[in-house]
Amino acid sequence: MARKKEAHGGGGHGWFVTFADLMGLLVAFFVMLVAFSTQDQAKLQVVAGSMRDAFGVQDKIRYSGVIEVPGLPTRPKLKNAARISPEDASANPTPDEGGRQNSYGAKLNADKSFALAAASLRQALQDLPELTEISKNIMIEESAEGLNIEIVDQDGRSMFPEGGKEPFERTRKVLQKIATPLRAAPFRISISGHTAASRLPARAGYGPWDLSADRANAVRQVLQNEGVPLGQFFMVAGRADTQPLFPEDAAMAANRRVTITLMREAPPLPPNAGP
């Protein structure tokens, strides 16, 4: 009786090869997704903060100078990078020379006042949901002179008409909103206008100095109309293009700005104080 021939298959492992091919394709797919993805900086900061809270790492941050706002280009150099001794370091942005010479109590009170003013200004801007985009034109930072509120231009989104001294209506609304915290702050106010370097000839009889001074004065008028006392203004000046925010590119749109400064001043001396 003849024997039946045994069937010779592939050993029963054909599915494993197919599965391995599928896994290889999936890995390649996810690698491609990661390679083409963009990182969300805000989400990364939230994750980093959560990790710090979870592991108890660096619960206090020592600021190094500039507080940048999303939408503005980042400056490569800090304006206030002076070296300070460890005993004078604090969690408040950039203590200045005058603050270090004052008593500890006076310095602490000044730091708290600037921090409170900055928080109030940011809250006022957050209360303008219809002006979310225009709020990106506002940069708040502490400097040696005091607390600066920079109202800057960006490419495609200006705060003043081209060559005009009166602000746009959206700019006026921002100024009206921040007038309340400015009025409540215990600091005198300095306002300076700035222009960007231009390769075009200035208008006859009206140049960058006139334009920057007129824009600074227009900002003062808006704030004064919103209740900021006239005596609270210390100075209104035009700087033309002599103090660019980005010196490496003096023609950049962000150099066109108006700076409102809550001035850092030494505490007043008693009437009968001697030398």
Three-state SS sequence of 27-77:
HHHHHHHHHHCCCCHHHHHHHHHHHHHHHCCCCCCCCCCCCCCCCCCCCCC
pLDDT at 111: 66
What is the C-alpha separation between 180 and 184, in angstroms, rounded? 6
The answer to whether the predicted template modeling score (pTM) of the entire model surpasses 0.95 is no
What is the C-alpha separation between 254 and 150, in angstroms, rounded? 10
pLDDT at 122: 81
Structural domains in the chain plus CATH codes = 86-263 (3.30.1330.60)
What is the C-alpha separation between 253 and 45, in angstroms, rounded? 28
pLDDT at 60: 44
The angle, 0 to 180 degrees and rounded to 10, between the axes of the packed helices 169-184 and 104-126 is 150
Instruction: Please answer whether residues 244 and 194 qualify as being in contact, where contact means their C-beta atoms are separated by less than 8 angstroms.
Output: yes
Amino acid identity, position 196:
A
pLDDT at 132: 65
What is the C-alpha separation between 244 and 202, in angstroms, rounded? 18
Nearest in space to 170 (alpha carbons), one of 213, 222, 113, 230: 222
Intervals of the chain under pLDDT 70: 1-13, 38-111, 128-132, 135, 266-275
